[in-house]
Amino acid sequence: MSETEGILDNLRDLSSLLAGRGGREEGLRELAGTVAKLLDAENASVMLLNENERKQTWLRLIASYGDYPPAAYAEKISPGEGVAGHVIATGKPLLLANILTSDFADCARRPERPGRSAVLAPIRLNGDFIGVVSASGPRNRRPFEMRDLRLLEIVAPFIGKSHQVSQLQNLLKSRFIQQSLINGTEETISELLVSAGRHPDQMARTVAKSFYREMNKAGFSSGQIIDAASEIISELSHSLQRHRKRATKPGT
C-alpha cells in the first residue's frame, strides 16, 4: 500500500467515527488513536475549551493516545498559557521540530526523552475555536515536517464535527435533558442543538440543576439526593478506572 493510500484509509476511518459510536469520550479516544496512526506518532491528544458561569475559559484534556499521566486530565490551561494555550489563543497551527530549541522550551514536560517534536492544530466548529488536537513523538525519530502539520489541519475539522455529532445524539436521546435545557434557558431546542457542542460545561450545569429540582419536587430528601449524586460520582470513578486500565494495557 502506498503512503497516499494509507492516508486516505485513515481519513476514511475518521469519517466513520462521525457516526458517534459509544460516548463522547470513547469516540474522541478513537479519534486520538487514529491521529497517532495517521502521523505515525507515539502520542496524540484532544483538548476542548470549557467555560464556567463567569465566562472564564480553559482547555482540558478530554482524550488521548499514548503516554499521558492521569494528572494530565485534571489540568486546566488558560488561553495563551503553554503550547496548547498559544494555539487556541492565536487560532493558528504550530509545528515544533524540537520543543527544546523553540520559544516553548520551558513547557517541555520530559525534556530528557527523545521524540520532542510536536504538531498542534486548533479545532474549529461553526466558526468558533473549541479545542486543540496535537501529536508528538514521531515514531521514526525524525522531526515532524510541514506536511505533517497540514495533515493535522485536515483532521481537525473531523474532530470538531465528531464532537458535535456526539453531543447532539446524546441530547436527542434524552427527553429529560431536552426538557431540562429548555426549562433552564430561554433558548429554543433548535438553538440549543447548535450551541450544545460549544459549551458542554454549561449544558452539564443546567442539567445538574434541573436534576436537583426534579428530585426535590418529587419529594426526595436531601440525603437521598446526595446518595444519587454519590452514585453518579461512583459510576464516573469506575469509568475512569476502566479507561486507565485500557490506556496502560500493553499494545494499546
In the predicted model, is pLDDT for residue 139 greater than 80? yes
Q: Which three cell numbers stand for residue 160?
A: 470538531
**Of 17-26, 137-146, 156-165, minimum mean pLDDT range:** 17-26
Which residues constitute the domain of residue 54?
Answer: 3-160
- Pick 206 or 99 by higher pLDDT: 99
Both 130 and 210 in one domain: the answer is no
pLDDT band at 227 (very low <50, low <70, confident <90, very high): confident
Give yes or no: residues 180 and 58 share one domain: no
67 domain-assigned: yes
Identify the band that residue 54 occupies on the pLDDT scale cut at 50, 70 and 90. Answer: low
Handedness of CA 194, 198, 199, 201 (dihedral sign): positive
- Supply the pLDDT for residue 242: 67
Residue 244, pLDDT > 70, answer no
Give the pairing type, strands 57-65 and 94-96. Answer: unpaired
Q: Are residues 96 and 206 in the same domain?
A: no
Does residue 248 sit within a domain?
A: no
Task: Look up the CATH number of the domain holding residue 80.
Answer: 3.30.450.40
151 and 175 both lie in a single domain: no
Give the pLDDT band of residue 35 (cuts 50, 70, 90): very high
Residue 120 confidence (pLDDT): 97
Q: How many residues does the chain have?
A: 252
247 is a domain residue = no
Note whether 175 and 151 are same-domain residues: no
At a CB cut-off of 8 Å and minimum separation 6, what does 18 contact?
A: 158, 161, 162, 165
176 plus 140 within the same structural domain: no
Which pLDDT does position 26 carry in this prediction?
Answer: 77
pLDDT at position 69: 85
* pTM strictly above 0.85: no
Q: 154 — phi, psi (to 5°)?
A: -70, -35
Examine the fold and report which residue of 138, 160, 182 is the final residue of a domain before the chain moves on. 160
Q: If 0-12 CB within 10 Å is exposed, 13-18 middle and 19+ buried, where does residue 12 land?
A: exposed
Q: What is the per-residue pLDDT across 146-198, written as a single tens digit (0 to 9) for each? A: 999 999 998 898 888 877 777 666 655 555 555 655 555 555 554 554 555 55
> Would you place residue 39 in the very low, low, confident or very high pLDDT band (cuts 50, 70, 90)?
very high
Between 20 and 143, name the one with better pLDDT. Answer: 143
Q: Final residue of a domain: which of 105, 130, 160?
A: 160
The reply to whether 134 and 35 lie within a common domain is yes
Q: What rounded mean pLDDT belongs to the chain?
A: 76
Could you tell me if residue 245 is inside a domain? no
One domain, residues 201 and 118: no
Confidence of residue 134 (pLDDT cuts 50, 70, 90): very high
Look at residue 181 in the predicted model and tell me its pLDDT. 55
- How many structural domains does the chain have? 2
- Of the three residues 160, 178, 198, the one that is the final residue of a domain is 160
Query: Which pLDDT score, from 0 to 100, does residue 143 have?
Result: 92
Residue 165: inside a domain: no
